[in-house]
Amino acid sequence: SAVISQKPSRDICQRGTSLTIQCQVDSQVTMMFWYRQQPGQSLTLIATANQGSEATYESGFVIDKFPISRPNLTFSTLTVSNMSPEDSSIYLCSVTGLAGGNEQFFGPGTRLTVL
Amino acid sequence: DQQVKQNSPSLSVQEGRISILNCDYTNSMFDYFLWYKKYPAEGPTFLISISSIKDKNEDGRFTVFLNKSAKHLSLHIVPSQPGDSAVYFCAASARPGTYKYIFGTGTRLKVLA
């Protein structure tokens, strides 16, 4: 596996503001993903962070709301824009492609509360 | 439409006994399945996986069983330990190469000492 860190670990934000979450991996990985886990819900894939190109978003998620960057093979950011209380969730990055396996490994998550 | 379902939101088991966590899926194209464990304030931790070409995969105390005809998989933990208390998620993919997984809603396991 790899060591995956996320910053911040948690934050409380005001409605209408934006927050950028960072994900750092200690080794180069093929693919990075961003998930959301709303209270009492499952993990939902937001997008695949592509290195050197625009992210690929899942149905229901758009770039204007969740801009993503991936400047290299070990780092990605997710921004939650113009936040509302409905954006209160745990946001998780995950990576795959380690040792050629199919398994995804997750970061510790960022707990976001929007007031 | 919830393609991966974990119908038991919680489960309590005595230490030393077997824990059985269940997962049902609806998409017959799913061919790769994983189980994750999640502690509070931590990200999910990969436990064990199984491909549709198998019906059983074992790793230490953890065994996953796959019944393709019933579209059902289960995770057995034997013997259960208090440290196993966590939320368990199953996940499924129709195309492992894309690494896109659909997660269930999770089952909270409590192992009683």
Q: Note whether B43 contacts A107, CB cutoff 8 Å.
A: yes
Residue of A nearest to B101 (CA): A45
Kindly report the average pLDDT of chain B as a whole number.
93
pLDDT at position A1:
64
Residue of B nearest to A93 (CA): B43
DSSP-derived 3-state class of residue B82? helix
Contacts of A62 by beta carbon, 8 Å cutoff, 6+ apart: none
pLDDT at position B41:
82
pLDDT at position B97:
65
Q: Among A29-38, A45-54, A96-105, B41-50, name the one with the lowest average pLDDT.
A: A96-105
Residue of B nearest to A38 (CA): B105
Q: Amino acid identity of B65?
A: F
Give how far the C-alpha of residue A43 lies from the chain's centroid of Cα atoms, to the nearest Å: 11
**What's the token pair of residue B64?**
């996953």
Q: Note whether B41 contacts A42, CB cutoff 8 Å.
A: no
Quickly count: other Cβ atoms within 10 Å of residue A108's Cβ. 18
Distance from CA of A24 to the nearest CA of B (A): 14
Please state the rounded mean pLDDT for residues A86-93.
96
